[in-house]
Structure formats: C-alpha cells, structure tokens
C-alpha cells in the first residue's frame, strides 16, 4: 500500500465570511465557496470550513470543532486494502461509500474518543 496523506480536514466555523477573510490573508483565494462552506488548498490537503449541521449553539470559544479528518489514498484498491485492515482489527466502519459532494469513494470510522476519521480516495492531480 502507498503511504497515507492528509486528504482533507473539516472544521465547523461560526461565521463563514469572517473565516474566509481571515484565512485568505495567508492562504490566498479559496478553491471553493458556497452558502454553507469554504475550502482552501494547503499543498495537497483541502481545508474545509463549514457551517454547523442542525441545531448547534454558536456561542463561546468551544462552539467550533473538528468535524472529521480524512487520510487520503490514491486508488480504490488501496481503499479496499484499508477496509480489510479495519475489518481484521475489529474496527467498526461504514464500508466503501460514495461521497455525494466530491463523487469519490471513502470509508468512515470513529476513534476511541469519538473523533470521525476517513480514508478518502483521491487520485493524484
């Protein structure tokens, strides 16, 4: 299997416009923006800032949080290999699914502290 890389990170933002202005100062123009998210590219890693889902209290310094961390793989075969690793280790996971936004295959699972992790398939650019 090829080495993993950080494919993307998703962080919940309190105010997208303010977040975009702040990060644009040192990351340049975002690669993507819509009403619910903004995305910057840092090397090969995509850094998404998204509005919270559903009912979410938007006050206090701890109201923002990490949504999930995605480790990237380059091929579907590599993704299936990591699916086998998870299965062999007894780690519950989603199985291979298709990302409806990026149209890429991925597997999600949670670490022992409840942090969401993914293996995300993105071919070399």
Q: At a CB cut-off of 8 Å and minimum separation 6, what does 125 contact?
A: 44
- Give residue-wise pLDDT tens across range 46-102: 999 998 876 555 554 445 678 899 999 999 999 999 999 999 999 999 999 999 888
Cα–chain center distance at 124: 17
- Give every strand in the sheet of 45-50, ordered side by side: 32-33, 37-42, 45-50, 5-12, 66-73, 116-121, 105-110, 97-98
Structure tokens at 41: 């590219």
Residues 40 and 47: beta-carbon distance below 8 Å: yes
Residue 89 pLDDT: 93
How many domains is the chain built from?
Answer: 1
- Residue 82 sits in a domain of what CATH number? 3.10.180.10
Q: Is the pLDDT of residue 112 over 80?
A: no
Give the predicted TM-score (pTM) of the model.
Answer: 0.73
Full residue range of the structural domain in which residue 99 is found: 5-121
């Amino acid at each position: 299997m090829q080495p993993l890389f950080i494919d993307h990170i998703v962080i919940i933002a309190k105010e997208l416009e303010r977040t975009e202005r702040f990060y644009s100062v040192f990351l340049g123009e975002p690669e993507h923006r819509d009403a619910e998210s903004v995305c910057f590219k840092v090397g090969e890693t995509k850094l998404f800032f998204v509005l919270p889902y559903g009912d979410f209290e938007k006050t206090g310094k701890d109201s923002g949080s990490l949504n999930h961390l995605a480790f990237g793989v380059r091929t579907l075969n590599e993704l299936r290999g990591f699916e086998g690793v998870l299965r062999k280790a007894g780690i519950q996971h989603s199985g291979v699914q298709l990302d409806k936004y990026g149209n890429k295959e991925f597997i999600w699972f949670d670490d022992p502290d409840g942090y969401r992790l993914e293996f995300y398939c993105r071919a070399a650019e």
